[in-house]
């Protein structure tokens, strides 16, 4: 019987020790408590844990990269005077989009059918799109 009482006392003691919450000290001044991070300002994608969160975050990142690419493409088109050069840029961009999509299919192929596939595919799109934006920005500088 004494072993049972000891066991109950140990369990109770561990329960109390692990669930003890330190009392928050009241602050007499109006300064914010900097010991805790401000969760309202954190990027939820920085801590994406589930595949759904990762997929959503990857999609948002791709949308940003795609918007930046489209803006840069329009800026370059507006800067070009020669219609032949504009036609060449348009053809190059269309070919590049096909290449990007096909290349990302290849890069993510081993994940096809898995829940991580959209994350890998979209990550590839984002990476290649950002690189293309950089290329077009360099072309703007050169023209």
| 27 within some domain | no
Helix/strand/coil for 26: coil
| 2 within some domain | no
| 39 within some domain | no
How far is 23 from 98, CA to CA, in rounded Å?
60
Average pLDDT over residues 50-69: 95
| 72 within some domain | yes
**Domain limits for position 119:** 51-143
| Burial (0-12, 13-18, 19+ Cβ within 10 Å), 108 | buried
pLDDT in the model for residue 35: 60
pLDDT in the model for residue 14: 38
Q: Is 1 a residue whose pLDDT tops 70?
A: no
Is 139 in contact with 74 (CB distance < 8 Å)?
Answer: no
Helix/strand/coil for 115: coil
pLDDT in the model for residue 36: 57
Q: What is the CATH number of the domain that holds 60?
A: 1.20.1270.180
pLDDT in the model for residue 44: 73
Q: Is 17 a residue whose pLDDT tops 70?
A: no
pLDDT in the model for residue 20: 41
The total domain count for the chain is: 1
Summary mean pLDDT of the chain: 81
pTM, entire model: 0.69
Tokens of 56: 């959503």
| Burial (0-12, 13-18, 19+ Cβ within 10 Å), 107 | middle
Average pLDDT over residues 12-34: 46
| 112 within some domain | yes
Average pLDDT over residues 83-103: 98
> Quick one: what percent of the chain has pLDDT higher than 70?
71
| 29 within some domain | no
| 42 within some domain | no
| 45 within some domain | no
């Amino acid at each position: 019987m004494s072993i049972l009482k000891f066991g109950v006392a140990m369990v109770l003691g561990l329960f109390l020790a692990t669930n003890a919450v330190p009392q928050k000290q009241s602050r007499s001044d109006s300064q914010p408590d900097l010991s805790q991070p401000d969760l309202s300002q954190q990027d939820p994608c920085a801590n994406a844990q589930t595949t759904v969160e990762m997929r959503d975050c990857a999609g948002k990142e791709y949308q940003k990269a795609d918007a930046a690419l489209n803006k840069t493409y329009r800026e370059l088109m507006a800067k070009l005077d020669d219609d032949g050069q504009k036609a060449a840029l348009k053809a190059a961009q269309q070919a590049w989009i096909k290449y990007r999509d096909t290349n990302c299919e290849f890069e993510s192929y081993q994940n096809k059918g898995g829940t991580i596939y959209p994350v890998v595919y979209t990550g590839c799109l984002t990476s290649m799109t950002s690189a293309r934006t950089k290329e077009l920005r360099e072309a703007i500088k050169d023209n």
